[in-house]
Structure 1
Amino acid sequence: MTAISGFANATATTQTNPVARNSVEAEGLSTMFLELLVAQIRHQNPLDPLDGTQYVSQLAEFANVESLQAMKISLNKNSNLLDSLQALEATALVGTLVDVKADAVVLEQRAAVRGAINLGVEAEAVNVKLYSADGNLVSEQQLAYSGVGTLRFEFPAQAVGGYYVQATATINGRPQPLQTWLSGEVERVSVGASKDDIMLQVNGLGNHGLLEINQLAYKG
């Protein structure tokens, strides 16, 4: 059963919203500048008044501060919008297969073990082995080598239990370990206050951050 949770944490009140807070700060800067300007004029020496160019210079500096504040508000609005879009995108992943960085999986029902490896250099051979939780070799595959890039693998349906995958590439006659990415279905999405708090619960593979996904897994 799939579920989506955490939307309450993704919303913020006006008091804690950074955009609203920045707007208040901008208004405060305007009020403060006007008060200082009035006080400066009121308390200036009538025998030696300030030059008008000094006021113009102060106004120019304040205009720069206001521009920077407006830019900050605009950037915060765009950032909040992107966070919301990423949260919506994440919830749309429920029920889909994704690749996550892992080498172990727990099957709660009979199912295939599939995944991928990313080969960054040319190799003479690429080998993937499937082991049971107690360390026994269950199956082994020699992947069809097609050059640098992503190579996918799949072990036919396995019994309920824990498994881990080990991949190696033979490069210049020497075996080199490879990072494995295992495929699983997204069962649940937890959305926090920002994109960094978005977590995906992947069937048999645990919890992973949205940014930790390698790619959508191909479902053949």
Structure 2
Amino acid sequence: MAIDTTGGVDLNQVLANSGVKNTTGNSAVSSLTGSVTGTDKKALGKDAFLQLLVTQMKNQNPLDPQDNSEFVAQLAQFSSLEGITTLNDSVTAIAGTFKSSQALQASSLVGRSVIAQTDKAAVDTTKSFTGTAVIPESVSAATVKISDKDGKLIKTIELGSQSAGNASFVWDGTNDAGAKVDPGTYTFAATTTIDNKATSLVTYLPATVNSVTLSQTGGEMMLNLAGLGSVALSKVQTIGL
């Protein structure tokens, strides 16, 4: 007897393929099909499977009964179907718990300051701004160039020689001429030379979480940062107050 745990099984077809020896004509098939599926054609679940099995036993030919091994195999199939149903219920419950936990985590992040992997930041130039450049190996020199929203170069910060690791830099909100610039969104491009080739460096910059987007398909949580757009939670290095 074939079992479909995903639904959409036609009991008439299952009965026809299950080896039922119906001694009472089509009445048993029609009765069973009507009682299990009704008018809405429900899927064959464990209750319908058990009812089908009992009907098969009732309507078998006494002179040619069902083979014992086949009967045991059908019982094993019923046990497997019940186990799969229980497993599906458990997975659904776990998924619901995970979504609730994710929503709680998301609500706690709104308004928090984070340090995320990005090359842009909303900067209050009345205060000092601190960022980090990731140095893949020891270098003799590294540079951070800061541009405004229009792409105009505002400031160049020389980091000098650096060993492998994170190299911090501080911007005081001034341009190369020493004048204060307006608050706004700025781009930070960190570069160095490795094996005589100009190499871009990953930067981690501070930002504020305005809102959080939860995936409806089990994907990663996205943080919507003030003035920057969305960043995946995995791109966040530090979460502050």
Deviation of 1:58 (Å): 1.0
Alignment pair present for 1:145 and 2:162 = yes
Q: 2 CA distance for matches of 1:194 and 1:153?
A: 39
**Cα deviation, residue 48, structure 1:** 0.6
Specify whether residues 217 and 152 from structure 1 end up closer, same or farther in structure 2 by C-alpha distance, changes over 3 A only: farther
Cα deviation digits, residues 35-82 of structure 1 (max 9, x gap): 210221122111110133322221112212222332232223222222
Alignment of 1:113-192 (within 5 A): 113-134=129-150, 135-142=152-159, 145-147=162-164, 149-157=165-173, 159-191=182-214
Contact 1:108–1:204 at 8 Å: present in 2 too? no
CA RMSD of aligned residues (A): 2.9
Which shows bigger deviation, 159-168 or 197-206? 197-206
Kindly provide the amino acid, as one letter, of the partner of residue 202 in structure 1: L
Contact 2:137/2:163 (8 A) holds in 1: no
CA distance in 2, matches of 1:143, 1:74: 57
Q: What TM-score does the superposition give when structure 2 sets the normalisation length?
A: 0.66
Q: Deviations over 1:7-40 (max 9, x none)?
A: xxxxxxxxxxxxxxxxxxxx96221111210221
- More relative contact order, 1 or 2 (CA 8 Å, 6+ apart): 1
State how far apart, in whole Å, the 2-side matches of 1:76 and 1:125 are: 54
> TM-score, normalising length from structure 1?
0.71
Determine the structure 2 residue equivalent to 1:73. 89
Q: 2:79 aligns with which of 63, 76, 86?
A: 63
**Would you tell me which structure has more strand in proportion to its own residues?**
1
- Whole-angstrom distance in 1 between the partners of 2:161 and 2:93: 48
Q: How many residues align?
A: 191
Tell me, yes or no, if the aligned pair for 1:87 and 1:195 is still in contact at 8 Å: no
* SS across alignment from 1:196: coil
Q: Which runs of 5+ in 2 are unaligned?
A: 1-42, 174-180
Q: Does the 8 Å contact 2:118/2:205 carry over to 1?
A: yes
Q: 1:201 aligns with which of 218, 224, 228?
A: 224
Q: Secondary structure at the match of 2:219?
A: helix
Distance 1:122 1:59 in 2: 67
| 2:68 alignment partner, one of 28, 32, 52 | 52
**Percent of residue pairs bearing the same amino acid type:** 29
Structure 1 segments unaligned to the other structure (5+ residues) = 1-26
**Structure with the greater alpha carbon radius of gyration:** 2
